[in-house]
Structure 1
């Protein structure tokens, strides 16, 4: 009986010392809870690239207005910066559908985008070229890609189920606070590209 009371008292004190933010994060809906090994399973990336990556937990509000926990495989040099950006998105309640390492989609960029999944590392080339994307080094992030699709000059949209309406929640536009903050930190936004617009894409060399 004494042992049960001691454990109960410990739990009361433990939760009393948690901030409201920490309590909220403990109650978050889990979208991804992988190990690093799971998150890179099946990649064709060389060892030197894998060694430059890390797996981070991020918290965000999704479209159900609930706090969610997801994960990103990102370059170690950018991990703390990206964590801070996600904290900012959480504070302003910018909704994010889900954040799951792209290994869950068998490394298919198209499948991940169609699911409106936010991701970073993917060892792949830039679409239509033989050049490695900055995603291949974990130095790019795609956020809500179905809501912030690639829009080509001929009207083609990628992903094919994408639709861009800057008035909708979860979308980016030139004066959006997240766009402005990332650009201030030296990130490039795909919405500024000249020959096409890649509204979901941010990268940093």
Structure 2
């Protein structure tokens, strides 16, 4: 047998031996450890805390516009304008304003910070003087979250909104219903169906009701006449 033939035979024998070892479960050739890669999430969630702190400012009669008038049960000096962050229906952070009594400023800031942290959606947040004659109906139809408005109840006594001690949240999707069928806003009939799952709806026991209750605020959704799903108050 020639030298070349011997080399070929040796190569073939070696190949068969390698195959036999692999089939018998022989140890694989060692490889290096995989490279560790650190990657950021493709769509990181916005911070659960507001990027800007709440800002509190005094107000006067001129700043309150049509929402206040002489004869209202509180003077402008008893009220404060709070600029707050909230999560909009678009899922983004926005800034809005509420006017409340100075005694509940701490409550309101804490409540809306808590609602921001759980990303509860609020469509709009403007003081009612942005609407003609500070009309509550127009603000509600616009699904605007608001607080102070010097207006009476149907009974003739002052609403707690007139004291800056009540907040209405997403009022279009959380309507007011009286025992006689009075509906506010008048455009909210579709939302009498509380099995709907629209953004910003409030339900008994949900995070909004619990957050207000933890600070001593009552929810109008627990009432019988009227039922007021949008309304939270503290006396």
Give TM-score, length-normalised by structure 2: 0.69
| Structure 2 unmatched runs, 5+ | 1-46
Q: In the alignment, is residue 86 of structure 1 matched against residue 112 of structure 2?
A: yes
- The CA deviation at 1:23 is 8.4
Cα RMSD (Å) of the superposition? 2.4
- The CA deviation at 1:51 is 1.2
Which residue number corresponds to residue 11 of structure 1? none
- The CA deviation at 1:25 is 4.1
- The CA deviation at 1:158 is 1.3
- Tell me, yes or no, if the aligned pair for 2:48 and 2:117 is still in contact at 8 Å: no
| Structure 1 unmatched runs, 5+ | 1-19, 27-33
Match of 1:184 among 195, 204, 214: 214
Partners of 2:161 and 2:227 lie apart in 1 by 17
Q: 1:120-199 counterparts in 2 under 5 A?
A: 120-126=147-153, 128-162=154-188, 163-164=191-192, 165=194, 167-199=197-229
- Tell me, yes or no, if the aligned pair for 1:39 and 1:101 is still in contact at 8 Å: no
- The CA deviation at 1:86 is 0.6
* Gap change, CA 1:25 and 1:124, over 3 Å in 2: same
Which residue number corresponds to residue 113 of structure 1? 140
- The CA deviation at 1:183 is 1.6
Q: How many aligned positions are there?
A: 178
Which residue number corresponds to residue 69 of structure 1? 95
Higher Rg of the two aligned structures: 2
Give TM-score, length-normalised by structure 1: 0.78
- The CA deviation at 1:35 is 8.5
